[in-house]
Amino acid sequence: MKRSGFNIMTRLIGLVKPLALYMILAIIMGLIGHLCASFITIFGAVAVTKALGSDIALSFGVITLCLIVFAVVRGLLRYAEQSCNHFIAFKLLALIRDRVFFALRRLCPAKLEGRDKGDLISVITSDIELLEVFYAHTISPIAIAVLFTLCICGFLFFYSPVFALIALLAHFTVGVIIPLFISKMSGDDGQKFRDKSGNISSFILDSLRGLNEIIQYGVGKSRLKKMTELTKDVSVDEERMKKVTGRNIALTNSVILIFDLTMLFTAVYLYTKGNVDFKGVLISTVTLISSFGPAVALANLGSTLQNTFAAGNRVLDILDEEPVTEEITDKNNVTFSGAKAENVSFSYGNEQILSNLSLEIPKDKIIGIVGRSGSGKSTLLKLFMRFWAVQKGEVKISDENIDSINTKNLREIESFVTQETHLFKDSIKNNIKIAKLTATDEEIVTACKKASLHDFIESLPDGYDTDVGELGDTLSGGEKQRIGLARAFLHDAPFMLLDEPTSNLDSLNEAVILKSLKEESKNKTTVLVSHRESTMRIADKVYCVEHGRMS
């Protein structure tokens, strides 16, 4: 979704609410610190005018003491302000990551199917990290610059209202007009840069996962060429952004010089007219010269905020994404007594998958479903899990529409084994234990025996503590599939949904698992999707799905 910079800034500032007191403290310390920095220079000018014979009430000793105090306070407050800002920034980044992961959990699996994983990783890591610039170096500097400008203009007003007006115009030009101009000049370069960076992350992740195939078929050079092209494309955008940054710095310094000279010439003119004395000329000019720190900090934002806002926009896209199915927490809990689909229709976009499909699944029976690839078998199981929302008709558990059953309760009474088992980089035991975190070692062993996995695990040097590697790379397809089945057996839900559970298994292991499923059918209901005739032999009834209809 395309958002305006103001909208993004407003949304990001809204996240600061839990840490508002820290932000106020940072602003106060920053304001006092910048005033101290400016008054070091101003008191230097006061000392010069006193040395030249101007009537200054302060003694040199007092002026020197003030300079020392200003310098010490400036250093301490600068450190404290930055510490406070970075505490706010990193605390908020942690909160944002937590909200992003919560949002991803809500969106999963329907909205994340087919989503570019490399781009998601880029959002979770580099895009969120970029927001540190906004929280540590944007919010408080804006507030500090506004308050500081008012203080400086008030100080100069005592010498001449004209000086205050020049200072106000100078700070407004440097702190507001230049950043807006540079931001407009940047256009959507920041958004393009973040999107292309996400594409590179995705391409690299894809290449690493397919490294074996790249080597096998000798396409390394073409992949490297593509990566080089993507990198050069990003470099062009980055170079253009760096040039804008350079122009920003040059423009800012030029404008500051012009206003400094304007103040000097105006002060001299007023001096010749007798409106101000020499003290007023020197102190007012030095005050303006020393007062651009906060405004320059804002001017520098013009070339960085586009990139930061682009990152914020991508993060907000995830936070604002609406899930296909919301988690239900205030409805009914049920005890499983059977399931059914009544006149169910479903489509992915314009592609019709299921059309007026009806199916009854009695309790403690094994129901087999066969059909050609793409006929809707796997989709039907996902509808029973409520991963997707039924567009027409009803899916019921225990005669209750699943939209009226609490999501946690639904997940407790269902086990779902997909065609691909995802394994985390952890031990075999912990990968199985995901299905039941409180499971004992005895329960895990029992589940593995049912999945024809125990003997294999025992043959490994570290047994159940063997690390499976990234994505389970150290295991075969059949071994991964059996871990998925072991999870289902450990979860011990009364309603099991199995999608091609034996597709990667040999006949011996298939026989052991089918025997376990048949024995479990005494107190469990199983829906079994498979192309294998041998697998369908244990089914009490077999349905065939053709063109989204049951036969």
pLDDT of residue 139: 81
Output the DSSP codes for 160-196: -HHHHHHHHHHHHIIIIIHHHHHHHHHTTHHHHHHHH
Q: Looking at residue 288, what is its pLDDT?
A: 92
Per DSSP, the three-state class of 303 is coil
Check residue 304 and give its pLDDT. 66
The amino acid at 192: K
Distances (CA, A) of 193 to 4, 184, 186, 261, 311: 17, 16, 11, 39, 10
How, if at all, do strands 495-499 and 414-417 pair?
parallel
Q: Which domains does the chain have, with CATH numbers?
A: 5-320 (1.20.1560.10), 339-550 (3.40.50.300)
Report the b/e string of 296-317 with b at 16+ CB within 10 A.
Answer: bbbbbbbbbbbbbbbbbbbbbe
pTM, 2 dp: 0.67
Q: Which helix (H) or strand (E) holds 401?
A: strand 400-401
> What residue type is 344 in one-letter code?
V
Q: CB burial class (10 A; 0-12, 13-18, 19+) of residue 204?
A: middle
Number of H helices, E strands in the chain: 22, 10
Residue ranges of alpha helices (H) inside 323-427 are 377-384, 407-413
How many other CB atoms sit within 10 Å of the CB of residue 286? 22
Closest C-alpha to 250, from 285, 288, 289, 299: 299
* Owner of token pair 């894809």: 206
Distance CA 347, CA 544 (A): 19
First to last CA, the chain: 43
Distance, CA of 418 to CA of 488 (rounded, Å): 11
DSSP 455: H
Q: Please give the chain's pLDDT, 551 residues, in tens.
A: 666 666 777 887 777 778 888 888 989 999 999 999 999 998 888 888 888 877 777 788 888 898 899 999 999 998 998 888 888 888 888 888 888 888 888 888 777 776 767 677 777 777 787 777 777 777 888 889 999 999 999 999 989 999 999 999 999 998 888 887 777 776 666 667 777 777 787 788 778 778 878 887 788 888 888 888 888 888 888 787 778 778 888 888 999 999 999 999 999 999 898 888 888 899 999 999 999 988 888 777 765 667 777 778 888 888 888 888 888 888 888 998 889 988 988 887 777 888 888 889 998 888 888 888 777 888 888 888 888 888 898 999 999 999 899 988 988 899 888 888 888 888 999 999 988 889 999 999 999 988 888 988 999 888 999 998 887 888 888 888 888 889 988 998 899 898 888 777 777 777 888 888 888 777 888 888 888 787 888 888 888 887 656 55
β-pair type (339-348, 392-397): antiparallel
Contact between residue 378 and residue 528 where contact means Cβ atoms under 8 Å apart: no
